[in-house]
Amino acid sequence: MIIELRVIDNDNRAECEQLSVSSEQKQYIASNVESLVTAEDNAGVARPFAVYADGKMVGFTMLAFDENYEDPNDRYWLWRLMIDHRLQQNGYGTAALQAIIRYFKDHGANNIRLSTKETNTHALSMYRKAGFRDTGEMNGEETVLQLDLY
């Protein structure tokens, strides 16, 4: 399986906006439409991408790079990662996460942070298997995890 993170543009934006998680998962992640608005509001920090597997769009991710942020542990965040509900359970999430980690490494990040609710057990399991560890911090109602890259 070849996973690619592609910039969202006029050619793929509408398709990306149509992707969605299951109704049970909607409590954990904003829609891609909302996420793209957030990206526009945070231009220069937010980096939204469509996730492609073997040339087919399967998901969406949004990364945060704030290299001017005072705390080096808060500069790099995985803000969003979703796989379309019709395509889950095919290994795309795990493969996309590995591509995201590679992207952060290739762009000089020293760590990656993310947050999610404790009840999002499937996502937490995937993140922990990839090496993310609990920091003991909370981001509102969400637990913060971190992966050290070096």
pLDDT of residue 47: 96
pLDDT of residue 70: 72
What string of pLDDT tens digits covers the 150 residues of the chain?
999 999 999 999 999 999 999 999 999 999 999 999 999 999 999 999 999 999 999 999 999 998 777 776 668 999 999 999 999 999 999 999 999 999 999 998 999 999 999 999 999 999 999 999 999 999 999 999 999 997
pLDDT of residue 66: 82
pLDDT of residue 72: 64
- H/E element, 54: none
Of 41, 44, 28, 141, nearest to 93 by C-alpha is 28
Only one residue has tokens 């769009």, namely: 57
Model pTM?
0.93
pLDDT of residue 123: 95
pLDDT of residue 54: 97
Of 66, 80, 77, nearest to 33 by C-alpha is 80
pLDDT of residue 100: 98
CA 74 to chain centre: 15
Q: Which domains does the chain have, with CATH numbers?
A: 3-113 (3.40.630.30)
pLDDT of residue 145: 97
